[in-house]
Structure 1
């Protein structure tokens, strides 16, 4: 453990993405005077209240946890102000911060945003990066302002997108890089550099992912469907229907075999491979899960589905 740093930090984050930068701050000995995270939410089939991942880590490390429904109320702002933070660090918190909150810390509110801003402002930039077929993913460390991801940027870092990257895998890499950018900037306080204004003319936006986005449209190219499989893993997943049951596609690969398949038409290829026609090329389904069954490989699935060849999915 590093020697305790006297800089007082309030950390705001909720999902897995926020765990890495919080752990990095703690490892460097920074004084975390409070952790703000989303309220517990119902989850799973039993709809039992489930704490955000950041809450579990904060309690494990003995940190004070705050879970307001909103930070717009003066009484909640007073609580935050009473913690006397020098800086607030945000990593996928999930609540809008009003100007009164942004004005509290002397060195501002720093936000780790997993995209190369101004590209992919909004709630789900990692999924957007995969959906867009981008060659590069990245992180921007920005000074938060009242607009949605519009604040000036202190630093950026980029990494290549790998063919195997899913949203969780890519987010883990970007969380670590974002943590490194954060530590470098914090080490420069009180002499922070001037952040660079974003070019709003180049801004793009991607909002919340919804469950219906996971339904396959076989009239789109196989390469696009495959990107959705990686972007929407694990939720909402990518799915179609077969024999009036939901069929989840867990892993896939676009192919150009020239099989002449119509969109949604299945071909059992080389005895144990599943190819499905699309608007352009074939989608090879490598792992899948039929409703009520366990996830399995294409070969294992075909052993239980003798009449799969030639069917049309999603009808």
Structure 2
């Protein structure tokens, strides 16, 4: 099948590679323009562009896809189908209707749940035990098109966003190939989305700060849902501190901390050191902070950070 592929981040790369590996003719790869990155602000290619260069595929990087020039370019490429995986630009109806088999999107959630830009982050932040990938026939709405195929995975309480992202990226490539195979056979029946939906918006700075008046499990989900990007943070002695790993502790699992003691403390107070981590009071129990990163430093165990700062039990995160 003649394919135009549209994608930008790491999540899209396994889908692009799967198309090539399964013999589809990728006649063009559209990805976002190179962006300044790092301290030197040098232009950096997207992961999809780097993969397309390795695979010797034609690359296009329009600032705006909806122009007459770009639409004409797409017509000249004459794709049987357009595949979209986290591209980063909205498609006009003219583009959606351009190819005989339309536009197919690979989305990192079980639609209609978690429509929007950050579905993996929000699924973990909200403590979902299952998530997955959906292929969808695109329409003019935001992730509202008819569902083609779905595949789910179980998410453990310790997995981070990065770990789940990598699993879903590979699964996305697999389900894309299966979708195209059934599409070619004519056995695929699009199904309108039904049931309760929610939205996974872009993350803002306010989503990254730990609020110690939340429940321990909510803080734990927030920490793992923001790892490795953009990272949850708290404030210690007036300085921001990234928090990368944690676990939930119940009073029964922390016999060294008397229940009568920790119930009288304020949320965010440090109760003590246990193993490589710090035991921190929350509104309903104890959070075990395991790995942190001070500004300008490398990640380290919370114990090493606390000892290096000559921390005292009873000090408070805010």
Give the Cα–Cα distance (whole angstroms) in 2 for the partners of residues 66 and 272 of structure 1. 49
> Aligned partners of 1:176, 1:238: CA distance in 2, in Å?
26
Tell me whether 159-168 or 110-119 shows the greater mean CA deviation.
159-168
Q: Which ranges of structure 2 fall in alignment gaps of 5 or more residues?
A: 252-258
1:280 aligns with 2:284: yes
| Alignment match, 1:193 | 188
Q: C-alpha distance in 1, partners of 2:288/2:275?
A: 13
Q: Which residue of 1 aligns with 2:210?
A: 216
Structure 2 residue 307 is the aligned partner of structure 1 residue 296: no
Aligned residue for 1:219, secondary structure, equals: coil
TM-score normalised according to structure 1 size: 0.93
Q: Say whether the 8 Å CA contact 2:6–2:82 is kept in structure 1.
A: yes
Q: Tell me which of 254, 264, 270 is aligned to 1:266.
A: 270
In the alignment, what sits opposite 1:23?
A: 17
Residues 273, 184 of structure 1: alpha-carbon distance in 2 compared, 3 angstrom cutoff: closer
Cα 1:79–1:190 change in 2 (3 A) is farther
Q: Does structure 2 conserve the Cα–Cα contact (< 8 Å) formed by 1:71 and 1:101? A: no
Q: Does 1:36 align with 2:30?
A: yes
Deviation >3 Å, runs of 4+? 269-273
Any conservation in 2 of the 1:37–1:54 contact (CA below 8 Å)? yes
1:90 is the counterpart of 2:84? yes
Counterpart check, 1:175 vs 2:169: yes
Alignment match, 1:139: 133
What is the alpha-carbon distance in structure 1 between the residues aligned to residue 56 and residue 278 of structure 2?
51
Tell me the SS of whatever aligns to 2:14. Answer: helix
Residue 312 of structure 1 is matched in structure 2 by: 316
Residue in structure 2 matched with residue 46 of structure 1 by the alignment: 40
Root-mean-square deviation (Å): 1.5
> Who is 1:4 aligned against?
none
Distance apart, 1:171 and its partner CA: 1.4
Q: Does the residue aligned with 1:269 lie in a helix, a strand or coil?
A: strand
Q: 1:17 to 1:272 in 2, by over 3 A?
A: closer
Task: Indicate which of 92, 97, 104 corresponds to 2:98.
Answer: 104
CA contact (8 A) 1:71 1:97 kept: yes
Shift of 1:98: 0.5
> 2:254 aligns to what?
none
The secondary structure found in structure 1 opposite 2:115 is: coil
Tell me whether 1:129 sits opposite 2:158 in the alignment: no
> 3-state SS of the aligned residue for 1:38?
coil
Q: Distance in 2 between the 1:109 and 1:86 partners? A: 9
Q: Shift of residue 187 of structure 1?
A: 1.6
In 2 relative to 1, CA 264–102 (structure 1 residues): closer, same or farther, beyond 3 Å?
A: same
Query: Which structure 1 residue ranges, 5 or more long, are not aligned?
Result: 1-6
Do the aligned partners of 1:210 and 1:236 also contact (CA within 8 Å) in 2?
no
Who is 2:230 aligned against?
236
